[in-house]
Structure 1
Amino acid sequence: MASTVIHAIYSDDDVLMNAVKEVRKKHLHINEVYTPFPVHGLDKAMGLAPTRLAITAFLYGCVGITVATLMMNFIMIEDWPQNIGGKPSFSYIENMPAFVPIMFELTVFFAAHLMVITFYMRSKLWPFKKAENPDVRTTDDHFLMEIDATGKDGKELADFLVTTGAVEINLIANEA
């Protein structure tokens, strides 16, 4: 079965935001919006669910502080205790104030690096991946809204999108 999508191209981000709201009012499904820069509030206008990346950042930070604590306890207390400047090396708790900078740095290190890896995996941005951008102008100065038009009148939908401020409308038929 063939699926049909309409690519509506806009030249201004404010016009795009209003168009997204109008398209959502007509209960049309927006597959994707391609923009040359992040548009504040577009995710809410499209009705996308909030991201859970902040939760993963917290969990990755917890992993980092756990690794830091276990690493410093093993290295500085159990494996090779040293008398550095008269500092007691009998227990981790007695030395914890000296270890706070390392705990902080490893918390940030783990959270940052694992967040980048998670973002790339969730976005499916693998090395040497071919770009999926349908129109090269969306990397420069245009905005593209891709709307599912399967089973809908393409002419009527195109006329509606022109009223929302689209500067160009393209009907794309995909063979599945």
Structure 2
Amino acid sequence: MSSTKVIHALYNDDDVLMDAVKQTRKAHHHIEEVFTPFPVHGLDKAMGLAPTRLAICAFIYGCIGISVATWMMWNIMINDWPQDIGGKPSFSYLQNMPAFVPVMFEMTVFFAAHLMVITFYMRSRLWPFKKAENPDVRTTDDHFLMEVAVSGNEEEMVSFFKNTGAVEVKVIEKH
């Protein structure tokens, strides 16, 4: 089993963290991950992360929801068990479409919301009973941690991160 070394640079201010991320990218060091106690606006762009494709998934899930709703209403109200409700016969789906719009909307939202939650958990690898992967408990309270792969001179990198404003810099063996 191979092990690699990473540097954990701990910051106590989000603005200092943002500057450090920019300096780290400029110095061509590879940022493995950044742990923050709250979302930091612009951090994803500063880290050079690609835009998320979750919106595409939401659209596809909404299309699945409206398709299921359309099939379900046609099958139940027109094909399988047509009923004369309030003197309005169910001869075709299009004649009854205005009555079906709320159901179509709700099923679209239902499918998109529930499938997005499942997709988010799967993409984030958040399974039930999963052990937390947080390297430092202080990042859930008031500190920010940048994890960077060690490449080249280790002492030089440690001094680089101390100069970026880190309050603590540690070299960790990662298995």
**Could you say which TM-score interval applies, normalised by the shorter chain?**
over 0.9
Classify the secondary structure of the residue corresponding to 1:8: strand
> Which runs of 4 or more aligned residues in structure 1 lie more than 3 Å from their structure 2 counterparts after TM superposition?
none
Aligned equivalents of 2:156 and 2:133: distance in 1? Answer: 27
Give me the TM-score of the superposition, normalised by structure 1.
0.96
Distance of 1:87 and 1:29 partners within structure 2: 67
Query: Does 2:171 align with 1:171?
Result: yes
C-alpha root-mean-square deviation of aligned residues, in Å? 1.0
Distance across 2 between alignment mates of 1:147 and 1:166: 13
Q: How far apart, in 2, do the equivalents of 1:158 and 1:104 lie? A: 55
Q: CA deviation at 1:82?
A: 1.0
Amino acid aligned to 1:39: V
Query: Aligned letter for 1:45?
Result: A
Rounded Cα–Cα distance in structure 2 between residues aligned with 1:52 and 1:128: 27
How many residue pairs match? The answer is 174
Match in the other structure for 1:48: 49
Question: What SS is found at the alignment partner of 2:55?
Answer: helix
Match of 1:149 in 2: 150
Cα displacement (A) at 1:88: 2.7
Unpaired runs of 5+ in structure 1? none
C-alpha separation in 2, matches of 1:2 and 1:93 = 64
Aligned match of 2:31: 30
**What is the aligned partner in structure 1 of residue 92 from structure 2?**
91
Unaligned runs of 5+ in 2: none
* Native 8 Å contact 1:88 1:94 kept in 2: no
**The residue matched to 2:146 in structure 1 has which SS?**
strand
Pairing 1:20-169 to 2, within 5 Å after superposition = 20-150=21-151, 152-169=152-169
Q: Percent identity?
A: 73
Amino acid of the residue matched to residue 69 of structure 1?
A: T
> What is the rounded CA distance, in whole Å, between the counterparts of 1:167 and 1:4 in structure 2?
20
TM-score by length of 2: 0.97
Deviation at 1:86, TM superposition (A): 2.0
- The CA deviation string for residues 41-88 of structure 1, in whole angstroms up to 9 with x for no partner, is 111110111110000000000000000000000101111111111223
Q: Which amino acid aligns with 1:166?
A: A
